[in-house]
Amino acid sequence: MAERSFKEEVEKLKLADGDEFHGEGILAVTKALLQSGVSYVAGYQGAPISHLMDVLADANDILEGLGVHFENSASEATAAATLAASVNYPLRGAVTFKSTVGTNVASDALANLASGGVTGGALVIIGEDYGEGSSIMQERVHAFAMKSQMWLIDPRPNLPSIVRAVETAFELSEISNTPVMMELRIRACHVYGRFKTKTNKRPEFGLKDALENPRRDLSRIAMPPMTYVHEKDKWEVRWPAAVKYIEDNRLNEFFDGEANDIGIVVQGGVYNTAIRALALNGLADAFGDSKVPIYVMNVTYPLVDREFIRFCQGKKAILIVEEGQPDYIEQNVNTILRRADIQTRVHGKDVLPMAGEYTGGVVREGIRKFIEKVRPDLLGPAAPVSEIAPVNERKDKAMAAVSDKVHGRPPAFCTGCPERPIFAAMKLVERDLGPHHVSADIGCHLFSIFPPFNIGATTMGYGLGAAGASALNVKAGKRAISMMGDGGFWHNGLTSGVGNAVFNKSDNVLIVVDNGYSAATGGQDIPSSFHPHHNRSTQNTIEKAVRGVGVNWVKTIDRTYDVALMRDTLKEALTTKEEGPKVIVAHSECMLNKQRRIRPLMKQAADRGERVVRERFGVDHDTCTGDHSCIRLSGCPSLTIAPNPDPLRREPVTKVINSCVGCGLCGEVSHAAVLCPSFYRASIVTNPTGWDRFKARFRAAVIGFFQRRIARKLQAA
């Protein structure tokens, strides 16, 4: 169950010639694929293209009607290998995944694909997750494009440019027999706009045609001596064909300006930011008309020598706005100009940061420094003065102003998350058995590295938690613990983690967090999802898969909120004399997806007048001691503190706020840790029956009687 439904929006994918599409970038990409006659699409979800997978899933009926096959791939490697269909057949195919982690996983398939080349258009849509909002290591896909010689498109972030980039990418791929990558930053994925649509195209050569007319071309298989021919073909045939197509179809764009002796070269995806920065410096208007000529690289690899030479001819200096490091483009441009004996000075990372996201403020400062060096006369009195503190200096000043007033707020689990009690149980085990090495993994459970749990030493990649502890498989009196989510388990962990542990007779402990979805990427279904799916095979249990590769000690906990059971099971796994890998499958539905699923149903039932019960937890302030161990052991966002109502006590008491979803963890933790009995459970009833009302009145009368009696005794005393 994805975090967002596109059932209504996908109707726009049916628009025909001359209609106007208005919507989000992700939908525009899907429409462009259908207009291009794509035969198959596959991919693996991950920011910022998770929604593209969700759109494709919701549009599956439309795709099937056009003869387009769509798959939710098991991993990025699976998705990339799907493009093998375009190697020998004139089939247009597209795959999508997150970069750079997804590209790393897919690298073997992509390298083979790029070596032998393709017959049909092969497009890899990359979600470029770079910058301050990124959830991964800071790297760029540009390096991979250069390594395997795959053309890299980086379109301007507006819908007409994105749609044209998809359509021309297939043509570029077919003309040069080379797979093409198109990177979309998060702002491009979610930008809104309009474009004139075309009628969707059925593939001229379909998947059925390929099956009925199988082809085989030995020269396209990456084996010696063909690989040496591939290397030569890349440079002598494919590269010139690509450059010619880029030039002839004007994929890159030139915008004139009055200051002809200087210029700015910008990656297409950073164009909007650069224009805004120019405007803030008084060098462009709100409509993008710039005083400085701009060369927009909608194709950032390969660079077109002739275009750079033509743009730089007669200019004393240019600025290259290249986000990220190293400065691949800047180095390449210097080489192009020096070989052509053009002495235009190239600025870039000398006025812009070498690393980090190029936000509006960063680019504004860089452009100002560049203009001050080469054409200070362009900076009129209306422009910001150069004495303004740089962005980083102003940021440091702001941080210093709030450092002693605002506490740091690390990422945390959602309210009611079923993963929280797992780590609460681990902290309780730690009190008895001491600390253990914990190998973490990619997923929501990685939030355990932050307070209040502070659990997890390393993480090596998605589904690699168990593999990350493999070197610690030694007889040392203690066992290492490793974590893995169900998404990572099916992505990579079953073989690289569990299978490897069985093969090497590991004695370590693995906890597989089974919350029913690929929760960290937006709640997509996976093979072990609890609920049936009309297009996919679900309800395949992790325990069966683990036993299938040879694990003998496996325990499944069907309700992770039972902290005492979690604690005891983990303690048993760490102390049992049985040798071999120990696997605990901790099983409870992702609370975020559960709430998305049940809340609409509860509202519909309440609107129909049906009885609906919602559970809430609370704290008895008269009993609460103000110890707050419940908060320290669970970290639930619904737990906070409040003034103590007892005037004789100073410690603030614990309070449960309205975001509580009734998971019961706070009470479970208090019980398992032998804490105070302050917590109580309340049932909130909508549309109560007569019996409900009678019980409420009776309880109120009994409680009121005893409260009044206590009050009288206190007064008498």
Look up tokens 């701009």; give the residue: 294
Determine the pLDDT at residue 674.
Answer: 62
pLDDT digits (tens, 9 = 90+) for 306-324: 999 999 999 999 999 999 9
For residue 610, what are the CA distances in angstroms to 358, 601, 689? 54, 11, 9
Residues forming beta bridges with residue 180, ordered by sequence position: 123, 151
631 burial level (CB within 10 Å; 0-12, 13-18, 19+): middle
- Whole-angstrom Cα distance, residue 282 to residue 625? 62
What is the full DSSP assignment across 603-617? HHHHHTT--EEEEEE
pLDDT digits (tens, 9 = 90+) for 341-358: 999 999 999 999 999 999
Tokens (6 digits) for 617: 């937890």
CATH code for the structural domain at 12-248? 3.40.50.970
Q: What is the number of other CB atoms lying within 10 angstroms of the CB of residue 438?
A: 24
pLDDT digits (tens, 9 = 90+) for 100-141: 899 999 999 999 999 999 999 999 999 998 887 777 888 899
334 burial level (CB within 10 Å; 0-12, 13-18, 19+): middle
Determine the pLDDT at residue 155.
Answer: 97
Determine the pLDDT at residue 260.
Answer: 94
Residue 659 pLDDT grade (very low, low, confident, very high; cuts 50, 70, 90):
confident
Determine the pLDDT at residue 676.
Answer: 67
653-674 mean pLDDT: 79
Q: What is the number of other CB atoms lying within 10 angstroms of the CB of residue 201?
A: 13
β 679-686/612-619 pair status: antiparallel
591-620 mean pLDDT: 90
- All structural domains of the chain with their residue ranges: 12-248, 253-392, 420-593, 612-686, 690-717
> Of 93-107, 189-203, 253-267, 511-525, where does mean pLDDT reach its minimum?
511-525
Q: Which fold has domain 253-392?
A: Rossmann fold (3.40.50)
Q: Does domain 420-593 have CATH number 3.50.50.60?
A: no
Determine the pLDDT at residue 418.
Answer: 92
Determine the pLDDT at residue 407.
Answer: 66
pLDDT digits (tens, 9 = 90+) for 391-423: 667 777 877 777 776 666 678 888 899 999 999
For residue 602, what are the CA distances in angstroms to 6, 81, 532, 588, 593? 22, 43, 21, 20, 14
Are the beta carbons of 524 and 490 closer than 8 angstroms? no
Is 90 exceeded by the pLDDT of residue 624?
A: no
Chain-centroid distance of CA 331 in Å reads 31
pLDDT digits (tens, 9 = 90+) for 153-192: 999 999 999 999 999 999 999 999 999 999 999 888 889 9
Residues forming beta bridges with residue 641, ordered by sequence position: 654
86-100 mean pLDDT: 95
Determine the pLDDT at residue 390.
Answer: 62
Is 70 exceeded by the pLDDT of residue 471?
A: yes
Angle at the Cα of 53 (from 48 to 54), degrees rounded to 5? 100
What is the enclosing helix (H) or strand (E) of 208?
A: helix 207-212
- Whole-angstrom Cα distance, residue 265 to residue 296? 6
Contacts of 335 (CB under 8 A, 6+ apart): none
DSSP state of 389: P
Is 80 exceeded by the pLDDT of residue 2?
A: no
Residue 712 pLDDT grade (very low, low, confident, very high; cuts 50, 70, 90):
confident
Highest mean pLDDT among 414-428, 621-635, 656-670, 673-687: 414-428
Is 60 exceeded by the pLDDT of residue 383?
A: no
For residue 672, what are the CA distances in angstroms to 208, 246, 675? 59, 66, 8
Q: φ, ψ for residue 478 (rounded to 5)?
A: -135, 150
Determine the pLDDT at residue 312.
Answer: 97
Is 80 exceeded by the pLDDT of residue 605?
A: yes
pLDDT digits (tens, 9 = 90+) for 27-75: 999 999 999 999 999 999 988 888 899 999 999 999 999 999 999 999 9
Tokens (6 digits) for 660: 């509580």
pLDDT digits (tens, 9 = 90+) for 501-548: 999 999 999 999 999 988 878 888 899 998 888 888 888 999 999 999
Helix axes 101-116 and 226-233, enclosed angle (nearest 10) = 100
Q: What is the number of other CB atoms lying within 10 angstroms of the CB of residue 21?
A: 18
Exposure of 206 in the CB half-sphere (CA atoms within 13 A) = 11
Determine the pLDDT at residue 351.
Answer: 96
Are the beta carbons of 283 and 367 closer than 8 angstroms? yes
Is 90 exceeded by the pLDDT of residue 714?
A: no
Average pLDDT of every residue of the chain: 91
H helices of 180-254, in order, are 186-189, 207-212, 226-233, 239-248
Contacts of 23 (CB under 8 A, 6+ apart): 9, 12, 192
Q: State the greatest distance between any 2 C-alpha atoms of the chain, in Å, as a whole number.
A: 103
pLDDT digits (tens, 9 = 90+) for 568-582: 999 999 999 999 999
Chain-centroid distance of CA 91 in Å reads 29
The model's pTM is: 0.89
Is 50 exceeded by the pLDDT of residue 477?
A: yes
Q: In this structure, which CATH number among 3.30.43.10, 3.30.70.2740, 3.30.70.20, 3.40.718.10 belongs to the domain 612-686?
A: 3.30.70.20
Task: State the distance between the two ends of the chain, measured CA to CA, in whole angstroms.
Answer: 61
Asked if the domains at 12-248 and 420-593 fall in one CATH topology, the answer is yes
Q: Would you say how long the chain is, in residues?
A: 717
Q: What share of the chain is helix, strand, coil (3-state, %, to 5)?
A: 45, 15, 40
Residue 78 pLDDT grade (very low, low, confident, very high; cuts 50, 70, 90):
very high
H helices of 561-617, in order, are 563-575, 591-607
Determine the pLDDT at residue 65.
Answer: 95
Look up tokens 């309009």; give the residue: 194
Are the beta carbons of 202 and 66 closer than 8 angstroms? yes
Helix axes 50-58 and 25-35, enclosed angle (nearest 10) = 60
